[in-house]
Amino acid sequence: MTHTTLEIAGMTCGGCVASVTRVLTGLPGVTSAQVSLEKSQAVVEHDPTTAPVPALRSAIEDAGFTVR
C-alpha cells in the first residue's frame, strides 16, 4: 500500500470533507482516506496498481473540487 497526499481546493465545510472521503473510499484499491478541511488535503492509503494517483485526482475533480 502507498500513502499519497493530495492538496484539494474548494472544500468549505464538513459536507465537502464527507463528499471527498466518500468518493475516495468508494474507489477499488483505496483502503482509507483522511480528509482535512483545515489543511485542504487528503491523505489516501491505496494500492497504486488498482487505484493510481490519476484515478484519485479524477474522482475528486468529478465531485466538484480541484486538486492542486
Strands of the 41-46 sheet, one edge to the other: 30-36, 41-46, 2-9, 66-67
Q: Which fold has domain 2-67?
A: Alpha-Beta Plaits (3.30.70)
Residue 38: predicted pLDDT: 98
Phi-psi bin for 25: left (phi > 0), alpha (psi -120 to 50), beta?
A: alpha
Global pTM value:
0.95
Confidence class for position 39, pLDDT limits 50, 70, 90: very high
Quick one: average pLDDT of 17-39? Answer: 98
